[in-house]
Amino acid sequence: MDERCPSCGAELGLSVICPHCGWDPVTALPRNRKRPPITILARILLWGGLAGLLALGWWRWVLVGPGPDLPTTLHWITLGDGGRAASLVTIHRAHEIASAAARYTVREVEPPSFDGDWVKTLAPYSTMAVRGWLPLLFGAADAALAPDAVTTFYRIEAVDGWGRPWKVTTRQLPRGFDADADPQVHADLEAGLWRSFFAAGRPDFHNLGYLRLELRSAGPDGRLATPDDIIFTSYVPVRMIFPAAMAREALQRQMEAAFLRGRQLYTWTGCRWDLIDARLLAEHRLDTLFFQE
């Protein structure tokens, strides 16, 4: 059977070259052509750029965390989260500073001074130093092994989540202090104070004195005394009083519990997220960086 031309379909007969369209099997063979260097370079740049964008997107997702929905998450990754992550680091770090001040007060039986190098003074009383591990919302992390993106929430530092210095203000409130007669303290009590992530509380001025510690961050705009300032206010108990008849062992347990927890009453303004959101972001960073389920 005569073969047909693969180009036009005409019968070739005994001919090798098609008499109708001129198809030649020799010239039709694929040739191993060398690509010009510019084409190879362009492909390298294209695929390298795509890989870089994917890596950058993944790292941004690690830092900002997942949003409530996919469009929000993509917006945070590509256009920024509007300072959410920095705000969460700010309020959580402020909470850690106040907890360290509370532990210092238990150990030294007096509140710390925030004049001079107070970071060096409080660093040994941080959660990482006292417990050796980082409490998260659903688990914990080893303080020595956790990555910097996680430990930044727990470090005692003189700067907020944006790396700007705190404005620190302190007041000594003696035992028997009349809170209702003080506009500042009365406003704090009206706004409500927290004694834990899930429970509210109120200072016991009848039996305790307090250190009112205010840590002010300039917020996203970097300027103090503007509406976006983040203000963390903590009431740290001073000179706790225990019953004279309390057994030595019971007294020691109470003191150890107060030292370990770093008890305080606190509130904040200027940040619509809370400490639970901060712990969730820290846990997300730990899980994604270590590829844990």
Q: Which amino acid is it at 256?
A: E
1 falls in which pLDDT band (50, 70, 90)? very low
Contact 119, 165 (CB under 8 A): no
- Of residues 59 and 103, which shows the higher confidence score? 103
Left, alpha or beta for 78 (phi > 0: left; psi -120 to 50: alpha)? alpha
Q: What is the largest CA-CA distance in the chain?
A: 120
Contact 275, 92 (CB under 8 A): yes
Which tokens is 87 given? 């705000």
pLDDT at 17: 81
Q: Is the pLDDT of residue 293 over 50?
A: no
> How many CA atoms are closer than 13 Å to the CA of 132, on its beta-carbon side?
0
Collapsing DSSP to helix, strand or coil, 126 comes out as coil
pLDDT at 292: 43
DSSP E strands, 150-229: 167-173, 193-194, 200-201, 209-217
Residue with tokens 């210095």: 165
Mean pLDDT score, 218-225: 94
Average pLDDT, the chain: 87
